[in-house]
Chains A and B, each alone.
Chain A
Amino acid sequence: MPSTSRLSWPHRPGARRIAGRTAAGLAGAVTLSLLAACGGGSPSPAAAGSSSASASASSSATLVAGGSCKNSSATKITFWAWVPGLGRAVNEFNKTHPSICVTQEDVGAGSPEYVKIADALKAGSGAPDVAEVEFDELPSFEVTHNVVNLVPYGANKYKSQFVPWAWKEVSQGPAVYAMPGDAGPMAFYYNSKLLAKYHITPPATWAQFASAAAALKKADPSAYMTNFAATDLQWLMSLMAQDNAWPFAYSGGSKVTINWTGPAQMKFAAYWQKLISAKEVNGTSDVSATSFADMDKGIDASWLSSAWGPSYFAPDAKQSVGDWRAAPLPQWTAGAHVAANWGGSTYPVFSQSAHKAAAATFAEWLNGTTASWTITKTAPSSLFPTFLPLLNDPTYKNITVPVSGSSHPDQTFTAAAGNIQGVPWPPFMTEALTQSATVFAGVLSGKETLAAAFRNFQNVLANYARQQGFTVSG
């Protein structure tokens, strides 16, 4: 199954990450029905596990919910999203809001959906009223003035209900361009049996992490402390954010700062390059059949994972079921509590919408009410909230999952959710994600250093941004 999660061009790692935290969620995130269909009948172990879930996998435009509303005079709202099981919330909304009728369609996860929206916006009609848009992609729609400021529609009264960083990432000055949805706070997710075998404790700092990686390599040459997925840009940038080495500055408009080559970025690159060169981290792609197999077999001792990680890994976990624990990310400064976010979605209203108020009402209800979260937190949606009432709910924190035994990984993830700094995404993440697979490919194979890839990426992005009319500073 995980090999199918890579299905989208351009490379959209994020598309899968928001989709949910269950195997069914994974199948729902499949962008093209191509491999979902294949996976159903394929004997390949890579596709195993998807067969049961592929029924819920999306085809190119599937009507998910709201096909029929009782009130024919209700205001009609079109909603595009790919999270599996979200239709349950849509139906609940339609039931409790008879004057509005929301129809949900699944036109693809991530990039395929953005391309369709962008084309519709360009064409002047055909865009949805509301859509699921990842955090990193939202500024791309803001810069073209295609999303509506939700403040006149009462968005600000929900502000106190959300973790501040999530609210910050959907805001631009006083304007709020989307309702924040789910998120993916990161943690050090580790094989407790493997580390205990070599008397390694979960590292509290990155310095300890490096020495633990060296110790593990010495004790077991076939094992790695973790895998370093250089080609997964969103993952890489999340780790950079935690190191205060975020490579962009952007606050709307035509000025953007691109900085992959500053001292902080180069320090980050040097730290990881040392581990890569010493072969103390595994250079494979992440959220893949390979990486999950390596984790299960005890080759990768940990995964710098997100809150949705355990459930993505769970279907591939066999011999290591019950051994996986979550600890806070190692810190760059001892004693600090800095977390990072990896993945998550927002729900903007598009400027083309003929019923902006009704669309805003839906987006606000979907993300800012307990009634909605009661549904979306459960499988197959299994969304990790940015919504504080649920985030602070003790029963939510104490959920157990078989892969993590009797531990409570969500205690770590919910704690991390409060320690995240919002980041300014550049308004051209689709291009960045597409180019990254090529630029960082050499790091995985050992043909180029991370620092060299950073310098190369700096040029690629700066050239692109200039061509697009931005004033670029480095």
Chain B
Amino acid sequence: MNGTVTGPPRRPLPLRSLLVQSAWSRRRDRRGFWFIAPFLLFFVVLMLAPLGYAIYTSLYTTRIIGGTVFTGAANYTQTLESGQFWSGVIRVIIFAAIQIPVMLAIAFFFATIFDLGVARYGTLFRTIFFIPFAVPAVVGAVMWSFLLEPQFGPFVHLANSLGFHGTDYFSSGLILPTIIVIVIWEWTGYNMVILYTALRSVPRDVIEAAILDDTPLWKIILKVKLPMVRPAIVLLVFINTIGALQLFTEPLILYYFEPQAISTNFTPTIYIYNTAIAGGQYNLAAAAAVILGVVIVIISVSSLFARRRRSEV
């Protein structure tokens, strides 16, 4: 890039110095190990071991009648053939396809306003916008459930007074938009802060040059700033997509308010949860969890490659 990273070209090192260096680096590795040991311990105990156990569990089947037997890939084929699992996956993909662009547009809009400095008390408002993110998802979902409750919720009265009579935010047609609204409320502030930070780091001289060229403001925002914060947007799309695939808390809480609205396979994680807890099919649930994990890894890796090709990473 600008030379500070790469440094001057190296001469090939003589053999002796290479050996010395590698011996030194081996010693350094060992000392380094103790520094990363605490992390490594928790990583192995809390990440790798459960993952390994989930994979191990998924290869067996425990039945009420017949006990536990090795069934190999049977749980995987059953999940892959299960319409229930995939309909949940499709639902969260639809969810992501709507929720993420809308949320990022709102977040970018407000980030731009704060970046331009046209709003007074910018810091205060940025904090207020960020607050929903600080509210635990459970609390947020409970709060929204009360607000949208069909019988007493103020939003139902609002819809009625606007002429939309008999609005039920928990009906099968509106439940997904309802969750989209809740999640947008929860996460816009967080996304906005990241975009705001990215916008702040856009070099001032570029903007000044644009201003000197009499570029209209909307063009500066959409044609200069937006492309320059694209890496941040790509990162947010990626993080939000993973979050959407793991959608769990909001539909779970809504279930308590309106059990009919949230099916047992509403999202893949809810399907996994119900398969394990209600159905007692822990092995099948483990297989479904591994498959969901693989789907997420595929999305992550492909996004990483996409970004690398554009040399954003």
A285 neighbours in B (Cβ, 8 Å) = 259-260
Any A CB within 8 A of the CB of B307: no
Any B CB within 8 A of the CB of A470: yes
Residue pair B138, A9 in contact (C-beta under 8 Å): no
Any B CB within 8 A of the CB of A63: no
Residues A115 and B277 in contact in the complex (CB < 8 Å), given A42-B146, A289-B152: yes
Any A CB within 8 A of the CB of B149: yes
Q: Determine the residue in chain B with the shortest Cβ distance to A432.
A: B278
Residues A437 and B264 in contact in the complex (CB < 8 Å), given A430-B278, A468-B64, A470-B64: yes
Which positions 236-265 of chain B face chain A at CB distance < 8 Å? Answer: 252, 255-257, 259-261, 263-265
Interface residues contributed by chain A, number (CB under 8 Å): 45
Residue pair A467, B152 in contact (C-beta under 8 Å): no
Any A CB within 8 A of the CB of B280: yes
Any B CB within 8 A of the CB of A143: yes
Residue pair A434, B149 in contact (C-beta under 8 Å): no
B277 neighbours in A (Cβ, 8 Å) = 9-10, 115
Residue pair B152, A45 in contact (C-beta under 8 Å): yes
Any A CB within 8 A of the CB of B12: no
Residue pair B64, A35 in contact (C-beta under 8 Å): no
Any B CB within 8 A of the CB of A144: yes
CA distance A430 to B64 in the complex (A): 13
Residue pair B146, A438 in contact (C-beta under 8 Å): no
Any B CB within 8 A of the CB of A73: no
Any A CB within 8 A of the CB of B66: yes
A264 neighbours in B (Cβ, 8 Å) = none
CA distance A118 to B281 in the complex (A): 12
CA distance A32 to B142 in the complex (A): 12
**Binary flags per residue of A13-51, CB closer than 8 Å to B gives 1, else 0:** 000000000000000000010110010001011100000
Which positions 290-306 of chain A face chain B at CB distance < 8 Å? Answer: 290, 293
CA distance A144 to B63 in the complex (A): 10
Residues A427 and B64 in contact in the complex (CB < 8 Å), given A115-B277, A434-B279: yes
CA distance A433 to B149 in the complex (A): 23
B278 neighbours in A (Cβ, 8 Å) = 9-10, 111, 430-431, 433-435
Q: Would you list 23 pairs from A and B whose C-beta atoms are within 8 A, ordered by A residue?
A: A3-B257, A7-B256, A9-B255, A9-B256, A9-B278, A11-B255, A44-B149, A44-B152, A46-B146, A118-B280, A144-B64, A437-B260, A437-B263, A438-B264, A441-B172, A441-B263, A445-B171, A445-B172, A447-B172, A467-B281, A468-B64, A468-B65, A468-B281
**Binary flags per residue of A140-152, CB closer than 8 Å to B gives 1, else 0:** 0001100000000
B264 neighbours in A (Cβ, 8 Å) = 10, 434-435, 437-438
CA distance A45 to B256 in the complex (A): 17
Any A CB within 8 A of the CB of B268: no
A34 neighbours in B (Cβ, 8 Å) = 138, 142, 256
**Binary flags per residue of A51-76, CB closer than 8 Å to B gives 1, else 0:** 00000000000000000000000000
Any A CB within 8 A of the CB of B151: yes
**Binary flags per residue of B261-275, CB closer than 8 Å to A gives 1, else 0:** 101110000000010
**Binary flags per residue of B110-139, CB closer than 8 Å to A gives 1, else 0:** 000000000000000000000000000010
Any B CB within 8 A of the CB of A356: no
B266 CB to closest chain A CB (Å) equals 9
Residue pair A289, B151 in contact (C-beta under 8 Å): yes
Residue pair B260, A441 in contact (C-beta under 8 Å): yes
Any A CB within 8 A of the CB of B150: yes
Any B CB within 8 A of the CB of A325: no
**Which of B142, B149, B172, B280 has the most CB atoms of chain A within a 10 A radius of its CB?**
B280
- Chain B at the A interface: mostly helix, strand, loop or mixed? loop
Q: Determine the residue in chain A with the shortest Cβ distance to B281.
A: A467
Chain B contact residues, CB within 8 Å of chain A: 63-66, 138, 142, 146, 149-152, 171-172, 252, 255-257, 259-261, 263-265, 274, 277-281, 284
- Chain A at the B interface: mostly helix, strand, loop or mixed? helix
Residue pair A293, B151 in contact (C-beta under 8 Å): yes
Which positions 89-130 of chain A face chain B at CB distance < 8 Å? Answer: 111, 115, 118
A44 neighbours in B (Cβ, 8 Å) = 146, 149, 152
**New A-B contacts (7) at CB < 8 Å, excluding given A10-B278, A445-B172, A469-B65:** A34-B256, A254-B65, A289-B152, A427-B64, A430-B280, A441-B261, A467-B284
The 10 closest A-B pairs by CB, nearest first: A469-B65, A469-B63, A434-B278, A441-B260, A10-B278, A469-B66, A438-B263, A254-B65, A468-B64, A437-B259
Residue pair A431, B280 in contact (C-beta under 8 Å): yes
B140 CB to closest chain A CB (Å) equals 12
B138 neighbours in A (Cβ, 8 Å) = 34
A167 CB to closest chain B CB (Å) equals 25
A10 neighbours in B (Cβ, 8 Å) = 264, 274, 277-278
A439 CB to closest chain B CB (Å) equals 9
Q: Determine the residue in chain B with the shortest Cβ distance to A428.
A: B64
CA distance A427 to B63 in the complex (A): 12
CA distance A42 to B277 in the complex (A): 30
B171 neighbours in A (Cβ, 8 Å) = 445
Any B CB within 8 A of the CB of A200: no
CA distance A180 to B280 in the complex (A): 26
B66 neighbours in A (Cβ, 8 Å) = 469
Any B CB within 8 A of the CB of A444: yes
A445 neighbours in B (Cβ, 8 Å) = 171-172, 260
Q: Determine the residue in chain A with the shortest Cβ distance to B147.
A: A44
Any B CB within 8 A of the CB of A464: yes
A45 neighbours in B (Cβ, 8 Å) = 151-152
A469 neighbours in B (Cβ, 8 Å) = 63-66
Any B CB within 8 A of the CB of A231: yes
A444 neighbours in B (Cβ, 8 Å) = 260
A111 neighbours in B (Cβ, 8 Å) = 278
| Contact for B274 among A143, A144, A434, A467, CB less than 8 A | A434
CA distance A143 to B63 in the complex (A): 11
B280 neighbours in A (Cβ, 8 Å) = 118, 430-431
CA distance A449 to B162 in the complex (A): 33
